[in-house]
Amino acid sequence: MDITAYFSETARLSASDLHLVAGYPPTLRMSGELVPIAQTKPLADHDIEQLILPILLPEQKDLLLTNKEIDISFQSQYGRFRCNIYYQRGSLSGTFRLILSNIRSIDDLGLPQIAHEFTRLRQGFILVTGPTGHGKSTSLAAMVQEINLSKPHHIITIEDPIVNIYPAGRAIISQREMHADTHSWNIALRSVLREDPDVVLVGEMRDFETIEAALTIAETGHLVFATLHTNSASQTVDRIVGVFPENQQAQVRLQFSSAMEGIMSQRLVPAIGGGRVVATEVMVATPAIRATIRDGRTHLIDNVMQTSAELGMLTLETSLSRLVKEGKISADTALTYAVRPEELVRLLKSQ
């Protein structure tokens, strides 16, 4: 039994993910829905071990046995996969995300035009947020690729694992993978300032130490891109400030309000006729936004965003209502993805 047969099906059907879990047939995520691969049977424990263990290096097997989970990347003849291998109920399991070989552009992805402006900044903090599986890494890759093709910069990425491989451009790109190229996020982020970077991409801000280090890098004159699992711009601010001890939060609000340049929160929403389209929320660091963050009045951020469209800001509900108006998604679907459903209803009625 060879896992490449399932990788082949994943690529052939343009699925985003492959799931191998004991007791279930091999399953694909297609247009956001889980679909078993046709004519396959539920997998037993030994089936999954035969599928997964051969793709792991000896040191990766050791890490898996020690930590009971591991993130790796794997290059197959059918494409590159980001893999999370883990145990559940004592059985080995795996989720494999197909990474498209060509890095799509900002415009191809349908991202807001202000994403181009983010790539032209010399310094600051840009965050791309949203739930797992909603294209954050893809959007970051599009922005990094635009810098790669247009500027003679040194770009350093710290990822777990490396997702996209960037082609030769005007920039030098150093991609560091957790465990393979560095032993910890903290060490990698502390070292990055000695590596002469212009741009730093932090694959995911997972904890207090990672957020603190990324904020310091942005404050010291570098352009930092990072992801965070939050649902909106205002929630992102609260999450970042909230990970710090209470006696440091006033100082962090000041630091973040100065360093932050933009937050883009996004969802991949099922489209009419199949596939998914991106809906985005954008917060730009205007003087009013910086003041609300600095003063701890994050509950006012949504109001500022709703009245600042001319400055490039966009609420998720406005983005969803536009997609409904353009006939790309249904109103019912839009409502299930809205953070503020009552605002979406108001916008839909006014169209």
Same domain, 59 and 139: no
Task: Give 249-254's long-range contacts (Cβ < 8 A, gap of 24+).
Answer: 249/296, 250/296, 252/215, 253/293, 253/294, 253/295, 253/296, 254/294
What is 198-237 written as a DSSP string?
SEEEES---SHHHHHHHHHHHHTT-EEEEEE--SSHHHHH
- Please tell me the distance from the alpha carbon of residue 351 to that of residue 346, in angstroms, as a whole number: 9
Nearest C-alpha neighbor of 213 from the set 190, 183, 196: 190
Which CATH number covers residue 59? Answer: 3.30.450.90
Same domain, 21 and 141: no
Note the pLDDT of residue 1.
Answer: 64
Residue 196, Ramachandran bin (φ over 0: left; ψ between -120 and 50: alpha; else beta): left
Which CATH number covers residue 241? Answer: 3.40.50.300
- Span 200-253, pLDDT tens digits: 999 888 888 999 999 999 999 999 999 999 999 999 999 999 999 999 999 999
Which helix (DSSP H) or strand (DSSP E) does residue 101 occupy? Answer: none
Q: Hey, which residues does 126 pair with through a beta bridge? A: 225, 262
Task: Indicate whether 332 belongs to any domain.
Answer: no
Note the pLDDT of residue 133.
Answer: 86
Task: Indicate whether 328 belongs to any domain.
Answer: no
Note the pLDDT of residue 145.
Answer: 98
Task: Indicate whether 86 belongs to any domain.
Answer: yes
Task: Indicate whether 92 belongs to any domain.
Answer: yes
- Please tell me the distance from the alpha carbon of residue 271 to that of residue 323, in angstroms, as a whole number: 9
- Please tell me the distance from the alpha carbon of residue 237 to that of residue 222, in angstroms, as a whole number: 20
Which among 99, 127, 144 is the end of a domain?
99
Domain that includes residue 286, residue range: 106-314
Same domain, 188 and 112: yes
Helix axes 249-259, 208-219, angle to 10 degrees: 50
- Span 296-312, pLDDT tens digits: 999 999 999 999 999 99
What is 264-275 written as a DSSP string?
EEEEEEEPTTSS
Strand 154-159 to strand 199-202: parallel, antiparallel, or no bridges (unpaired)?
A: parallel
Same domain, 87 and 110: no
How many distinct structural domains can be found in the chain? 2
Which among 99, 130, 165 is the end of a domain?
99
Same domain, 42 and 137: no
Task: Indicate whether 153 belongs to any domain.
Answer: yes
Task: Indicate whether 151 belongs to any domain.
Answer: yes
Which among 51, 76, 99 is the end of a domain?
99
Task: Indicate whether 145 belongs to any domain.
Answer: yes
Same domain, 81 and 177: no
Q: Could you tell me the CA-to-CA distances from 246 to 53, 222, 250, 253 in Å, in that order?
A: 45, 27, 8, 11
- Please tell me the distance from the alpha carbon of residue 66 to that of residue 61, in angstroms, as a whole number: 9
Same domain, 156 and 94: no
Task: Indicate whether 46 belongs to any domain.
Answer: yes
Averaged pLDDT, groups of 10, the chain, 351 residues long: 92 96 96 93 96 96 95 92 96 95 93 97 97 92 98 96 92 94 92 96 90 94 96 94 95 97 97 94 97 96 94 96 97 95 93 73
Note the pLDDT of residue 251.
Answer: 96
Same domain, 161 and 285: yes
Same domain, 82 and 131: no
Same domain, 143 and 56: no
Number of residues assigned to the chain: 351
Same domain, 212 and 283: yes
Same domain, 248 and 158: yes
Note the pLDDT of residue 229.
Answer: 92
